[in-house]
Amino acid sequence: MAAMSDKATAVQTAPEKKEPNAVKLIAPESIKDRINRTHQEIERRAFEFFEGDGGLFGRELDHWFKAEAELLHPVHVQISEADNVVRVQAEVPGFATKDLEVSVERHRLTITGKKESVEESKKGKTVYKEQCSNEILRVVDVPAEIDAAKATATLKDGILSLSLPKAVQVKEQVQKVEVKAT
């Protein structure tokens, strides 16, 4: 298992501090489980599209992209880089801190989220009930090596803002060593 400075996962939860939308760092394995489950759901739905097309080969990517678009909502990101930090802003409208998980590794950022809503209304003898599930998944390669242990994230007005400090690069010091005869 890598050291915490190599990779970390941030799950947005109700923080212990007074910061209303801070992120708490945890181990990254739970994100990998969610990604695997999402991949299996997309795979299953793509196969359903394949069967619906009569089982003809040649449209696998079309089926995959159609399933992916049906199950996942896009996450638009903006990445900027400064001397010591990479900043990422991701659009996650409608998601609360409890719905999101963020994983930060040396060169990769993963944002996942899942929320479910249920709406029910009654008018006379008619009962109307609608259930909706929204899921997001975005994996981004970041342009610099990140110190994951120092990463921070906040959520405000549907924008997830991440500050990813760059890892301190230790410059190799070359020093000439004189060889002495004994």
**Gap between the Cα atoms of 14 and 137, Å rounded:** 21
Domains delineated in the chain: 7-27+77-165 (2.60.40.790)
- Collect all residues with Cβ–Cβ distance below 8 Å to 150 and sequence separation of at least 6: 165
Contact 106, 11 (CB under 8 A): no
Element (H, E) at 156: strand 152-156
The model's pLDDT over 17-38, given as tens digits with 9 standing for 90+, comes to 445 565 555 556 667 787 888 8
What one-character-per-residue DSSP string does 99-154 give? GEEEEEESSEEEEEEEEEEEEEEEETTEEEEEEEEEEEEEEEE-SS-B-GGG-EEE
d(CA 14, CA 23): 8
Q: pLDDT tens across 83-141, in order?
A: 899 999 999 988 888 888 888 888 888 888 888 777 777 878 777 766 666 888 888 89
